[in-house]
């Protein structure tokens, strides 16, 4: 393998019923990824348990933990043992009444290399995240690691080109999205197809617009609603796109899977030379981006 080639792994998983069972599955996945030569592993959003945001219930806050805490201790120890860069995703208890949806990065060490707190928080049927998560306050800052500067964002951030652009402008070399997104089982097949294709397409657009590889790791499997709703069928489809939006690898919609992909880390330089989008940005004409809407 070339020195410029980075082997990455995306661990697309199902909910296993408890924090310990989920962390056991993550440990098995990290060991499998390391044995296959991966140097960077991306985990799915809120991987320690079910996607509890299908309803609003104060008891769900019991799932939150401090960072550092038990989960970061375990994942960090594995990152150090297996010499992996790992991007994890946790329900962070910052203080009583103050919680975040937080991505945590380990760089071949049990020490935390950096963290990102989800900035865009949805509040939609079966995705009631505003009840649980305070919007992030760490900005759009890439996290420096041994495999490059990681532009880590989380799920709903995927729909916002501004987030990807700001990470790119700050020097990110990869865009990474831990994700939990799925269908309402009551939707028609046509609507399901539109939603999934929109999700894939918008992220491929971020890769193209910024000339960067992009990794998106989603959960899979059906998770029942705690309050007799329809539940969510998570659509998997974890994927890696290259700097021109090309698919480098894609997982299934409905199976636990370790997706392994090799990325040419020199390709962004070539792509940005032939498509110099950063050069041609009209930064003198974008003031209205700071407005909510032009009435």
Catalytic residues: 45, 118, 155
Map residue 23 onto helix, strand or coil.
helix
Q: Are 214 and 243 in contact (CB under 8 A)?
A: no
- Between CA 41 and CA 21 the distance in angstroms is 19
Going edge to edge, which strands form the sheet with 232-235?
Answer: 182-183, 232-235, 220-223
Q: Which residues contact 232 (CB under 8 A, 6 or more apart)?
A: 51, 54, 126, 182, 183, 184, 185, 222, 223, 225
Helix 189-210 and helix 161-169: axis angle, to 10°?
Answer: 20
Q: How is residue 228 written in tokens?
A: 């007799």
Report d(CA 103, CA 121) in Å as an integer. Answer: 14
For residue 22, the Cα-to-chain-centroid distance in whole angstroms is: 17
Q: What is the 8-class DSSP label of residue 211?
A: T
Count of beta carbons in the 10 Å neighbourhood of residue 110: 16
Rounded to 5 degrees, φ, ψ at 25 are -65, -40
């Amino acid at each position: 393998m070339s020195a410029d080639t980075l082997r990455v792994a995306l661990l697309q998983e199902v909910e296993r019923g408890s924090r310990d069972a989920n962390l056991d599955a993550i440990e098995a996945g990290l060991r499998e990824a390391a044995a296959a030569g991966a140097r960077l592993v991306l985990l799915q959003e809120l991987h320690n348990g079910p996607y509890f945001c299908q309803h609003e219930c104060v008891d769900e806050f019991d799932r939150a933990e401090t960072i550092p805490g038990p989960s970061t201790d375990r994942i960090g120890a594995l990152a150090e043992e297996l010499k992996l860069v790992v991007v994890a995703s946790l329900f962070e208890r910052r203080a009583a009444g103050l919680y975040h949806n937080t991505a945590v990065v380990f760089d071949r060490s049990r020490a935390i290399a950096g963290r990102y707190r989800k900035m865009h928080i949805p509040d939609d049927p079966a995705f009631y995240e505003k009840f649980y998560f305070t919007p992030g306050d760490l900005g759009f800052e890439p996290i420096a690691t041994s495999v490059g500067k990681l532009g880590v964002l989380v799920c709903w951030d995927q729909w916002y080109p501004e987030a990807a652009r700001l990470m790119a402008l700050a020097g990110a070399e990869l865009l990474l999205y831990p994700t939990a997104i799925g269908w309402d089982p009551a939707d028609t097949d046509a609507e399901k197809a539109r939603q999934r294709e929109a999700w894939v397409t918008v992220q491929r657009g971020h890769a193209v617009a910024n000339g960067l590889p992009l990794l998106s790791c989603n959960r899979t499997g059906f998770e029942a609603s705690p309050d007799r709703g329809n539940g969510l069928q998570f659509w998997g489809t974890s994927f890696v796109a290259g700097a021109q939006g090309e698919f480098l690898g894609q997982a299934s919609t409905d199976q636990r899977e370790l997706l392994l992909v090799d990325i040419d880390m020199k390709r962004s330089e070539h792509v940005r030379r032939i498509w110099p989008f950063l050069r041609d940005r009209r930064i003198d004409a974008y003031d209205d981006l700071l407005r909510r809407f032009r009435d």
